[in-house]
Amino acid sequence: MNSTRSITVLGPQRLTPTLVHAVRSAGVRGDFAVVTAGWQEREEEVDELRQHLQSEGIGEVVNLRLYHRAEEVFRDDPELQRLFRTRQERLRRMQEIYRLRLGFAMDAARELLLRRGEPDLLVPEREAAIAAIRELDRVHLERVKAIYQEFEAAAKPFERDAVVRHRNEIRGAIDGCAAFAVAGGHVALLLNRLRLFGVAEMVGERDVFAWSGGAMVCAERLVLFHDDPPQGAGNAEVLEAGLGLYSGLLPLPHARRRLRLEEPLKVALFARRFADLQCVAMDDGAILRWQPAAEGRPGRWEPIGGDGSRRLLPEGNTEALQAAA
């Protein structure tokens, strides 16, 4: 991660708001450009967030209103809306196919991790089963990327008047702010709106604060997870690449409600499948900040006060993240 910006990811804010503490510890003062598009029709309800920041004299909340802006764009440019819906329908069908294949691959990996027998026979097969899941995830990401590229080539959204007008307004709003923040909500919709206007490229070196679903979409990879969903098998699914505002971390907000962290098999399979990332359960009170490399120490994610963050380990347990001594 070469950026000089400060990156802070937080757990859920509704019951345990920690944003002010995180902002104070980062030494940030000034207005915040805030994305609440994941709240959809409730996007304008930022009074609580505004009071939370203004109570400490930190700055004003500048709501970028990406959800409403997108609705205006689609109203003014029906052709873009049609191309957008076609893209989303293709992505939905592709996700269904991926989910089908993923189910069989996950079943095989779980069965092998549970099986007892000669290690010299089982261990290579377990590794091969997990490698097969990783490859399936990788190929899925590539196919999703190809669909986005087809859409960009056909729609050329950044050349359309309706999008250009809003992009100029968004850029002007961000330019007047000291920091950039992304709240939670519907993660797929949130990511789509951020991408529609190319917001990530406007952030520059501003400090970034993201929580819940916002932390997920700002990462390099967006993974949907729920061990006990209302429907489906409960297998974590790679949805697509995230904004890539930070790397090396797979945040798992609301983990206590969504993951069975007390079951070693589930924890081990999750951690081994996404072994290239730190998989961190982020519940109420969790605050992590990227600490760049310094004096021979590699860069790392560190907790900033509070608690609520635990790393998933390939052995099937979890451990609390510790700040550097």
pLDDT score recorded for residue 49: 84
Which value, in Å, is the radius of gyration of the alpha carbons in the chain? 20
Phi, psi values for residue 288, rounded to 5°: -125, 140
- H or E element at residue 282: strand 278-282
Task: Calculate ∠ Cα 277-282-287, nearest 5°.
Answer: 95
Q: What DSSP designation does 321 have?
A: -
Within 8 A by CB and 6+ apart from 219, the residues are 242, 243, 244, 245, 246, 247, 249, 250, 251
Q: Does residue 17 surpass a pLDDT of 60?
A: yes
The per-residue pLDDT for range 140-164, each reduced to its tens digit, is: 999 999 999 999 999 999 999 999 9
Domain ranges of the chain: 7-320
pLDDT score recorded for residue 3: 52
The per-residue pLDDT for range 257-282, each reduced to its tens digit, is: 999 999 999 999 999 999 999 999 99
Hunting for tokens 């790392």 — which residue is that?
Answer: 300
Percent of the chain with pLDDT over 70: 97
CA 73 remoteness from chain centre: 25
Nearest to 276 by CA among 144, 142, 130: 130
How many beta carbons lie within 10 A of that of residue 298, not counting itself? 8
DSSP for 227-276, written as a single string: SS-SSS----EEEEE---SS-SEEEEETHHHH--TT-HHHHHHHHHHTTT
Per the prediction, the chain carries an average pLDDT of 92
Question: Reduced to 3 states, what is the DSSP secondary structure of residue 318?
Answer: strand
Q: Does residue 168 surpass a pLDDT of 60?
A: yes
What are the tokens at 302?
A: 């560190």
Split at pLDDT 50, 70, 90, the class of 325 is low
Q: Which amino acid is at 24?
A: R
Round to the nearest angstrom and report the end-to-end CA distance of the chain: 22
Percent of the chain with pLDDT over 90: 74
Split at pLDDT 50, 70, 90, the class of 324 is low
The per-residue pLDDT for range 44-58, each reduced to its tens digit, is: 888 888 887 877 778
What integer is the mean pLDDT of 102-111?
Answer: 97
pLDDT score recorded for residue 143: 98
Stated pTM of the model? 0.92
The per-residue pLDDT for range 218-255, each reduced to its tens digit, is: 999 999 999 888 777 789 999 999 999 999 999 999 99
What integer is the mean pLDDT of 69-94?
Answer: 98
Nearest to 109 by CA among 252, 280, 273: 273
Helices 78-114, 119-155: axis angle to 10 degrees equals 180
Topology of the domain comprising 7-320: Rossmann fold (3.40.50)
- H or E element at residue 127: helix 119-155
